[in-house]
Structure 1
């Protein structure tokens, strides 16, 4: 993991947390950091803007360098100094700190340990980001008396659009390839809602690889989703996307509710009127979503693909308890595009 912090006195702190492949070069790492900050010129800093319409009007980064100290020795990586092809793991290590200088502005980058990864884990993903104003500086730029007075000198936005950042990090062609491996019905839902947040998850699931599920399980899951209404089928898809994160029940419920809300479904779409503190136009709760997709939930539970919570000494459930590996294979099977053929 890499943490990036950029401070503008009188304005505030721009921060990002990224998951990066240690094999990325210094140049690729710098590009990922700048893309996560939405730094003008970051997208074209490696390959230029050749072949891009209106390239002469695009912002460009003039100079950049990464200064890193390892083993009591300061190394500088730039186009005119140290080799920018040096892997990140060599330049910063697992717990190193460096100073990235971009056209005179500084960004502190710190590596914080390492996480397990495989061949299908995205090389770069933005996990979180934020902005914290300095001291008495108001968070709302419109509060300042002089328009533009608090704008970042190069125009960095305060808000973080993680979906857009991760599309930029992954590349539009790769995103299209990942979505092309997804079940068409779910793909249409995600594209219709501009929901690219799940692209890194889908990439990690390696949907292009045939799922390893038994014939009996396959026959059951081929009936997914079992619902017939648009809201019911969307609820079923939301549940399986949430379950594929391999989270606990509470987290999976939160992801399911968030996804259904982002898709624009409300209680009214499910035929639910006002009740207590909930209006018909309010988002659906996780419990309501489970009720809408009850038949699909039964298919998942029958195969052991739903979240099972309990200790080894607990009462044995009537549905099978599967390993995380087996569950992951079932989610891969459900999400793959070929099933719709």
Structure 2
């Protein structure tokens, strides 16, 4: 499992924990912004199982959690401003009965602040079990809520976290985050519709001050060195993969998925593999390596992240 993967149920793909990566970037410094909890949410029926893993600000209220769950499970009426079904939260009873309805204005951390704590979410006749499986400190760049994994659906549609996260993030936040990104990154997100990258850019915090050596600054201004569209896309896809700071396997998965979504593939069909993508932007990666941002003799995680931040936001 990748270094910053959130544990998931069997059959669910592991996903990046941006908060875990942020803790590593900042030398495990404790945040003053509260905590994010990772919630395992499941609806089990005789003919189907629907699972979602959700990262959410523990200082939000149960009323906010209701809206996030509706969006992540794509329940009818989600995001339309009006509830299509009655809903409430309860605590599992010791005798397997359900306790009385909880106050919707209470904070999530009051009931789900620690791993192992559980709630039940009732929506119409359906019931979703929610359990906290992890918690980590927040900082100013951590998204308020994010769907970080899942499987299944109520309408037999394919699980698409990018669409879900675009709805969770909201158009205004997407526009604000992308306004700090270099045009090539904005175009890649718009072309691929991979809005998960908005959360990554939030976590990286492109507005943060960066101090590079004169040589590193000079090289960043020159990149990418490639001029052919496919090679330029390969470079930026690789930078997005590297920015996850989650090891070669997951970095390749991000890079390969991005290039495939951009429409680039092998001449004989199928996705381009990570090594082939890196070969397309070899000159730029060699330049990155010369300033410690790639492969051998790499700088610390914090210093590499500053270089990636500088590239992603441009001048």
* TM-score where L is the length of structure 1: 0.75
Structure 1 spans left out of the alignment, 5+ residues? 50-59, 133-151, 269-278, 309-319
In 2, the alpha carbon distance for the partners of 1:165 and 1:76 equals 30
In 1, the alpha carbon distance for the partners of 2:301 and 2:132 equals 29
Residue 126 of structure 1 aligns with which residue? 147
Distance 1:267-1:104 versus aligned 2 partners, 3 A rule? closer
Contact 2:54 2:145 in 1 (8 A): yes
Larger Rg: 1
Aligned ranges for residues 70-81 of structure 1 at < 5 Å? 76-77=100-101
Matching residue within 38, 41, 54 for 1:18: 54
Aligned ranges for residues 191-270 of structure 1 at < 5 Å? 191-268=190-267
Cα displacement string for residues 199-236 of structure 1 (whole angstroms, at most 9, x for unaligned residues): 21111111122323222211111111110100111111
Distance 1:23-1:70 versus aligned 2 partners, 3 A rule? farther
Matching residue within 66, 75, 96 for 2:89: 66
RMSD of the TM alignment (CA)? 2.3
Residue 97 of structure 1 aligns with which residue? 118
Contact 1:70 1:92 in 2 (8 A): no
The answer on 1:290 being equivalent to 2:311 is: no
Residue 163 of structure 1 aligns with which residue? 162
Cα displacement string for residues 177-214 of structure 1 (whole angstroms, at most 9, x for unaligned residues): 11221110221122112221212111111112232322
Residue 302 of structure 1 aligns with which residue? 290
Q: Number of matched residues?
A: 276
Give 1:93 deviation, angstroms.
2.7
In 1, the alpha carbon distance for the partners of 2:90 and 2:103 equals 12
Residue 16 of structure 2 aligns with which residue? none
Select between 108-117 and 17-26 the one with higher mean Cα deviation. 108-117
